[in-house]
A and B are shown apart, each in its own frame.
Chain A
Amino acid sequence: MPDAPGLELIRGEIEQDHPGAILDTSFDRGQATLVVDSEQVLEVLRWLCDAPGQGYRFLSSLHAADYLPATPRFAVHYELLNRNRVERLRVKALLADPSAGPVTAGDPPPPPVAKASSGVGSPTAPPAEGLPEIDSCVELFPTADFQEREVFDFFGIVFRGHPDLTRILLPEDYVGWPQRRDFPVGGEPVTFTYNERQYG
């Protein structure tokens, strides 16, 4: 992992090429994290991948987390790995919940929702209004295909430009985003013989 000064160096270099892309950095428990603007996450990932001396070309894992009381509420995590230097770097893109109503002061305004230009036109899962959106990185990291679908499936985060953004683990007619923190555990009725007319 890059150490704390190394992380600041990376931040400074990205700031030169993409001003305003890095919102924050953190170095916690030996893990370096870049907090980036969700609108520019693709540029930052591409920079980390291609810039000389960086070479974070392996995406170990892409997952999301819901920090419910906090705003912005969601974050998509990219666990990058430089396999030559054996260094991990986490890129964290914060995403506000557009359906949460007026944002409090001090928050970046939610990104403008450009429905017409969104590349997600699959008939099976038309993304509902009011979902957070972020650019898909499948072009850069083909391994993100399944993982972005999983994040969409469980958090309702729309990845713009994903080739086939449908539910992957849940049934395609499922309603709701079960890994969000406000989705109750056990909220799903279980069908037995005696109540199958009600729920089945």
Chain B
Amino acid sequence: MADGLSSPLSAPPAVETEVMTINIGPHHPATHGVLRLVVDLEGEVVRDLKPVIGYVHTGIEKSCEDKSYWKVIPFVERMDYVSFFFQMEAFCGAVERLVDLEIPPRAKYLRMIFLELNRIHSHLVWLGTTALDLGAISMLWYCFRERERILDLFEMATGQRMHTRYFQVGGVIEDIPVGFEEKLRKFIADMPVRVGQYEALLDRNEVFLQRTKGTGIVPRERLLELGVTGPLLRAAGEPWDMRKTFDYLAYPEMDFKIPVGTVGDNYDRYRVRLAEIVESVRIVEQSLDALPEGPFIADDRKYVLPPRSELPTSMESLIHHFKLVTEGYRVAPGEVYYAIESPRGELGCFVLADGSAKPARVHFRDPSFINLQAFKDMAVDTYVADMIVSLGMLDPILGGVDR
């Protein structure tokens, strides 16, 4: 908010003011979850800030150590509850690397379709709630209208709207149903138009522009020091996207761009995420066009459940099914760190196997948790109102932060 008057941001004011410490949250709608901010205010200017987290810590990592590998999947989905497919992919991918299991091509493409739909979903939730913080209430309804269509697609394919447990170690649990493709094609035809409509609503909105442009700037080098990844880093001009740099799923075969910003302010963060929605739509479309025929899950009966139809006729399948459901499969000792690009940055999953049927340690490197460290740099010496915008643009999901 640059104005012609003397700004209290940089120079200390002529009148002596008192620094006041106030609490924002943990139950405040603008903190996007159960985040508590202890803020030192001098007048309206933030002078110091400390995020206090842990209010929704549920010990998921510890609980995972007491579950066989296939039962961990629904647990880890509930960490970052907006990007559940990504948690599943990180965990399943880590276990697949531990047991050296190659997933069939169709499963790779199906996973990519759902991951990218999930990315659109996550960015829509972000856009709706952040615009709501800025007073653009109608954005929430428009974004949630499209989000609803994505959730309907999830429900059609997986039976659940959220926390779908769709990815399995070895592939996906079911093939997409009849009619799914048609519905999805309608959606991906509509989505770029919708993004254009969001832009038309926000890009020429004077209030939105004044509150986002030039606020919350953190230099690129500082972001890298702080380990920040994802749209925040890309908005500062660093074209770092793990879908491009690392070889996982079938992303190397996809044609998409990495949107980057120039200044690294809140406006760039908004632009980068909107552009990412369009790129995700392109990936979904290409995956759908190139969707290979074949099995949707690996045919390794030591790790993958046999098809239901075989159970009444094949004793061997029945035994495999029984062993997998009761004890689960054992994984040879080893440790793997597998990282993917989630909507918020690098989502890493560390799995330590000790030879039993349960993981000895499951750790998630959650991007929200790491990115939250940059919040102080974004918000100190800005107005409270800008701090709220920066927090929205940071897009932390507290379920992922606290795990």
Contact = CB atoms under 8 A, between A and B. Distances in A.
A61 interface: yes
Interface in A157-189: 167-171, 178-179, 181, 183, 185
Interface in B213-260: 224-228, 240, 245-246
B361 interface: yes
The majority secondary structure among interface residues of chain B is mixed
Contacts of B240: 83
A179 B66 CA distance: 12
Interface in A38-86: 57-61, 63, 65-67, 77, 79, 83, 86
Interface residues of B, number: 40
A150 B53 CA distance: 11
Nearest to A188: B59
B63 A90 contact: no
Given A29-B334, A77-B350, A169-B402, A65 B360 contact: yes
Interface stretch (B105-113, B277-285, B365-373): B365-373
B302 interface: no
Given A63-B365, A185-B66, A90 B337 contact: yes
B3 interface: no
Interface stretch (A13-21, A93-101, A111-119, A137-145): A137-145
Contacts of A147: 370
Given A143-B370, A146-B370, A168-B54, A185 B65 contact: yes
Interface string B372-397: 11000000000000000000000000
A43 to B, nearest CB: 20
Contact of B54 (A29, A66, A145, A171): A171
Given A29-B334, A169-B402, A142 B98 contact: no
B62 A61 contact: no
Contact of A178 (B59, B335, B348, B403): B59
B245 A146 contact: no
A86 B245 contact: yes
Contacts of A60: 227, 337, 339, 346, 348, 365
Interface of B: 53-54, 57, 59, 61-63, 65-66, 97-98, 100, 224-228, 240, 245-246, 334-337, 339, 346, 348, 350, 352, 354, 360-361, 363, 365, 369-370, 372-373, 402-403
Interface of A: 28-31, 57-61, 63, 65-67, 77, 79, 83, 86, 88, 90, 141-143, 145-147, 150, 154, 167-171, 178-179, 181, 183, 185
Given A28-B334, A29-B100, A60-B227, 12 more contacts: A29-B336, A30-B97, A60-B348, A61-B350, A65-B335, A65-B350, A142-B226, A145-B373, A168-B53, A169-B54, A179-B361, A185-B62
The 5 closest A-B pairs by CB, nearest first: A143-B227, A61-B365, A169-B54, A169-B57, A185-B66
